[in-house]
Amino acid sequence: MIKTETPTLNLSNLVNGEKGIITKVLGHGAFRKRISEMGFVKGKTVTVIKNAPLQDPIEYKIMGSHVSLRRSEANMIEVIVPLDSVINEKTNYNGTFLTDSTNEIIEKQLKTINVALVGNPNSGKTTLFNFATGKHERVGNYGGVTVDTKEAHFDQGGYRLNVTDLPGTYSISEYSPEELYVRKHISENKPDIVVNVIDSSNIERNLFLTSQLMDMNIRCVVALNMYDDLERKGDSFNYKELAKIIGIPIVATVASKGMGIKELFNTIIDVYESRNPIARHAHINYGTNIEESISRLKNEIKKNKKLSDSFYPRYTAIKLLEADSAFIDQVASFPDTADILLVAENEINSLEKEYKEKSDTIIADAKYGFIHGVLRETYKHKELNKIQTSQAIDVIMTHKYLGFPIFILFLWLMFQLTFSVGSYPMDWIDSGIGHLSGLIGDILPAGSLHDLIVDGIIGGVGGVIVFLPNILILFFFISLMEDTGYMARAAFIMDKLMHKMGLHGKSFIPLIMGFGCNVPAIMATRTLEIRKDRILTMLIVPLMSCSARLPVYVLLISAFFPTNQGLVLLSIYMIGILLAVIVALVFKKIFFAKEDVPFVMELPPYRIPTLKNTLVHMWDKSLQYLTKMGTVILAASIIIWALGYFPRDIEYSKDYDKEAASINLNSNLTDDVKETHLSQLEIDKEAERLENSYIGQIGHFIVPAIAPLGFDWKIGVSIITGLAAKEIVISSMGVLYQAELSADENTVNLKNKLQEQVFTSGPRIGEKVFNPLVAYGMMLFILIYFPCVAVIAAIKKEANGNWAIFTMFYTTALAWLIAFTVYQVGSLFL
């Protein structure tokens, strides 16, 4: 039997004469009631009779009746068109006459539930998503971790649950991209169930979003997350009574431990099937004056069927009374809404005159009044004679004198342990790669394939993968700071200093995220309410040293800074932060002069992170790193090797083979001396060949630009290849410095090669290329110059192409200037 696919469509997609079987009716309130009364219910067959001359409305036949629907209404009804259904039009039967196959399809469609997760930042929403779906998305205890939607599905109780994790947001007003995005997703995608994830340690603030969802008249379930925190404090909360009051089922959960998750999704299924006794639509009473304004405006809205079918009229009235400019623009896009907007304006003026407040403040106060009232009936705080643990810790951690030194101490400890702990597994991997290189080299016969695999692939990729332990340790500590809640304190600590320098304290979160990877840091700027602040922060995020640069630092610091390694690494990161602040100050005065925006940031309670979340985070990052090894860096290593391997017909400056023969015939030399001379001769020959290769020609072409920085042509080539990804700098050096093989050809210790590298041409021929000054200048250049291609793409997406191009040029120019200053000034003293 041949199986055919049966797609789900909207009823408006069907053409004249086509039949469809209804699987889902979207929309809400009066619309759903009216549609159901006309027979448009799940499982019924509907036939398209004809379209009006202007293609709207459309005439349908259902249950023996002919019904006219506007196209916008038909767009709210989902149907399937089963290819194997048999419907006998000659019979008088007007219900559904379906084959077993069609019944299975309908059953599958009816048992598919689309779920959207919404909640405040820090509510544990993404942790819940991860546990329920098995995904490993990033979890952080600060605003802005979920900066885009994440989707997954799983099966439970015979149902397929499609879960979407929406960005964290405090409300669905007009103040930030997250808020507008969440509101748009709920309004346009119309999920079957919205799960509102609430932080049990801050219920009153979290319920504000719940109150807005109540206004929207959508089916909701509340996940009362981190419930163990509430119990640990000794508070009592009759959340089942609260559920009855607000008409939304509430389930206590501890997402980090998986507690209550199964019950939560069983409740979602019950609400979807309309068999939960608590679920109902409850209105918030905003008080006599506001309710009268809502009523008058709602009556006007109901006259516009297209608008009232798209948005619940009461919700529309409330949003208009809040003077939500984004929503007003949306309403204005509907035809014949001028009278509605005029009534709204009159009602706003009336309320503001009565209350002496802005209308959005009036409604927000009424919401909080409702929330305070229901919590007074259901929530009891335990009387405490001492301050909360988080407040006690913050007395020290955010102290005006101690807070900053403690933060610097944490950073120093993180970088010092990155070296001291990471050195052991780093040596193990290094040794393993050396043995692998020797083993493969012995097996393969001499030739191009041998050189490609040993020098190009193993030498290039192996030189980068050795730094994986350092990457993991760095991410481990960043994860700890995020998950414990300390990262938000870091933003709080830095606010005053950054504010004076022209930055917003909240911008510090994306900057710190940049220590891990600049791409999600760029995306995290969406949490900043003002576009100018977002762009300014994007421009300086590349100055934060991402983990991709860490292998370069580890290599150079290990080779040329044997003492105080953690301090040297900390100085690189701190210079990045300092430059970011200075650049922000300059750019703000040039491009973004404006009034300051108040610093508003939640300080979440301190929490003990779970080992599982930390390990998941480390594993995800290791996968990203290893994936890059097998794709971008592997390809780059092969290209760099090929450019250095060809052309093969090099005209050497002298006859190396003749000199080698002369050494072998010299009876005055001992065997050890002969071996030393022959080894050096081989190194000189390979160095000359590499210098005349394609990559050598590229390197020499840019020497005039990099010579003032103390760099040789190989450093220049490594820097160029780093434009794609900063890890490739190490990969390039691993390939380029294969000419400098030590006596033990099995070793891949790039550190020794750098220490021995000398200039092969120019005024400094024969001198050592690297010293601490050159190494430090190179680290600063790698820190500052051209961000990787992925970062440029992220800036282009979040801002525009002009800002992306500007970032490429300003960072490279600044890198050259800083490295030039370090080398030239440093040379006067060292």
pLDDT at 209: 93
Q: What is the mean pLDDT of residues 284-293?
A: 89
> What pLDDT, on a 0 to 100 scale, did the predictor assign at position 644?
78
How high is the pLDDT of residue 252? Answer: 95
Please give the pLDDT value at position 143: 44
Looking at the predicted structure, is the pLDDT value of residue 540 above 60?
Answer: yes
* Mean pLDDT over the full length of the chain: 80
Reported confidence tier of residue 478, pLDDT bands at 50, 70, 90: confident
Confidence of residue 384 (pLDDT cuts 50, 70, 90): low
Q: What is the pLDDT of residue 780?
A: 96
Please give the Cα distance from 519 to 514 (Å, whole number): 8
- Which pLDDT tens digit goes with each residue over 562-608? 888 889 998 998 899 889 888 988 888 888 765 554 444 556 666 77
Residue among 199, 238, 198 nearest 378 (CA): 238
Dump pLDDT digits (tens) for 47-82.
Answer: 888 876 666 788 888 887 888 887 777 877 888 876
Q: Residue 686 is which amino acid?
A: E
Query: Which pairing describes strands 19-25 and 45-51: parallel, antiparallel, or unpaired?
Result: antiparallel
**What was the pLDDT predicted at 239?**
93
pLDDT band at 301 (very low <50, low <70, confident <90, very high): very high
Return the pLDDT at 39.
Answer: 79
Predicted local confidence at residue 118, as pLDDT:
94
pLDDT per residue over 735-790, tens digit each?
A: 677 644 333 333 346 788 888 888 877 788 878 889 999 999 999 999 999 887 77
pLDDT given for residue 241 in this prediction: 92
**For residue 822, which phi and psi values (nearest 5 degrees)?**
-60, -45
Q: Are 144 and 192 in contact (CB under 8 A)?
A: no
Residue 699 has pLDDT above 80, yes or no: yes
pLDDT for 382 equals 73
Tokens of 124: 């544990």
Tell me what pLDDT residue 109 has.
67
Q: Is the pLDDT of residue 625 over 80?
A: no
Q: What is the CA radius of gyration of the chain?
A: 33
Residue predicted with more confidence, 643 or 114: 114
Query: What is the reported pLDDT for 142?
Result: 41
- The pLDDT assigned to 678 comes to 87
Could you give the CA distance from residue 419 to residue 558 in angstroms, rounded to a whole number?
9
How many percent of the chain have pLDDT more than 70? 82
Of 6 and 810, more confident: 810
Which residue, 549, 536, 504, is CA-closest to 788? 549
Q: Of 96-105, 310-319, 525-534, where does the model show the most confidence?
A: 310-319
Q: Is 80 exceeded by the pLDDT of residue 128? A: yes
Q: Please give the model's pTM, rounded to 2 decimal places.
A: 0.60
Question: What local confidence, expressed as pLDDT, does residue 390 receive?
Answer: 61
Of 771, 810, 766, 755, nearest to 787 by C-alpha is 810
Closest by CA position to 189, among listed 332, 26, 334: 26
Least confident of 138-147, 261-270, 352-361, 586-595: 138-147
- Find which of 128-137, 275-284, 738-747 is predicted with most confidence, using mean pLDDT: 275-284
* Residue 54 half-sphere exposure toward CB, CA atoms < 13 A: 4
SS3 100: helix
Domains parsed from the chain with CATH numbers: 8-105 (2.30.30.90), 111-272 (3.40.50.300), 288-380 (1.10.287.1770), 403-591 (no CATH), 628-829 (no CATH)
Question: What is the C-alpha separation between 150 and 167, in angstroms, rounded?
Answer: 9
Least confidently predicted of 450-454, 504-508, 767-771: 504-508
598-615 pLDDT, tens digit per residue, is 444 556 666 777 777 767
pLDDT of residue 92: 43
Q: For 17-57, write each residue's pLDDT tens digit.
A: 888 888 777 765 566 667 777 778 777 888 888 876 666 78
- Checking if the pLDDT of 101 tops 70, the result is no
> What length does the chain have?
830
CA distances, 136 to each of 312, 382, 469, 617, 710 (Å): 36, 36, 20, 7, 44
Instruction: With cut-offs at 50, 70 and 90, classify the pLDDT of residue 177.
Output: confident
- Reported in sequence order, the residue ranges of 172-308 that DSSP labels E, i.e. its strands, are 193-199, 220-225, 236-237, 250-252
Burial of residue 49 (CB within 10 Å: 0-12, 13-18, 19+) is middle
Predicted confidence at residue 747, as pLDDT, reads 32
The lowest-confidence range among 333-347, 476-490, 570-584, 789-803 is 476-490
Residue 385 has pLDDT above 50, yes or no: no
* pLDDT over 90 percentage in the chain: 22
Contacts of 586 (CB under 8 A, 6+ apart): none
Please compute the mean of the pLDDT values over residues 452-472 and round it to a whole number.
75
| Residue 126 near residue 473, CB atoms below 8 Å | no
What's residue 140's pLDDT?
47
Residue 436 has pLDDT above 80, yes or no: yes
pLDDT tier, 497 (very low <50, low <70, confident <90, very high otherwise): low
- Cis check for the bond before 647: say yes or no (omega within 30 of 0): yes
